[in-house]
Amino acid sequence: MVGVVIVSHSLKAAEGIKEIAQQMGRDVPVAAVGGTADGQIGTDPLAIKEAIEGVMGSDGVLLLVDLGSAVLNTQLAVEMLEDEGQDQVVLSNAPILEGAVVAVVESAMGHNLEQVKKAAEEAIHMEKLL
């Protein structure tokens, strides 16, 4: 199963999103990471790297981010991974919450990293006001 990492400026936000997403598939490995090393609002590439390693399996990992430095620090975290690991993680442009929900559904169905990424990114078109 494809792992999912949720990177937010706030650990609370990341954990909340994880909680919502995991309702869709309890067995999917999901990690939430956020905040600075001293617990402030921000992002920490070393913590992100650990989070990625924590859910890394043979099917790879999809990374979902909120804004700004979450993108830069996640890219940095990916560069810090071992070479083999780098090929197995992808950063997605998906909306963080909707994307996480869809990614977990897709991963639970056994879809591959590319399929999970594509579906998560399509979540931007998710209709809410039906």
Ligand X SMILES: Nc1ncnc2c1ncn2[C@@H]1O[C@H](COP(=O)(O)OP(=O)(O)OP(=O)(O)O)[C@@H](O)[C@H]1O
16 touching ligand X, by CB under 6 A: no
**Cα–Cα distance, 118 to 116 (Å, whole number):** 5
Residue found under tokens 């989070």: 51
* Under 8 Å between Cβ of 63 and 74: yes
68 touching another protein, by CB under 8 A: yes
User: How many Cβ atoms are within 10 Å of 27's Cβ, its own excluded?
Assistant: 10
119 touching another protein, by CB under 8 A: yes
42 touching ligand X, by CB under 6 A: yes
110 touching ligand X, by CB under 6 A: no
9 among known catalytic residues:
yes
**Cα–Cα distance, 16 to 9 (Å, whole number):** 12
Closest CB to ligand X among residues 41, 126: 41
* Under 8 Å between Cβ of 61 and 88: yes
Among 10, 69, 75, 115, binds ligand X (CB under 6 A): 69
Among 19, 40, 46, 68, binds ligand X (CB under 6 A): 68
* Under 8 Å between Cβ of 20 and 100: yes
Active-site pick, 9, 18, 49, 117: 9
Total number of residues binding ligand X (CB under 6 A)? Answer: 5
Give the interface with ligand X as residue ranges (CB under 6 A). Answer: 9, 42, 67-69
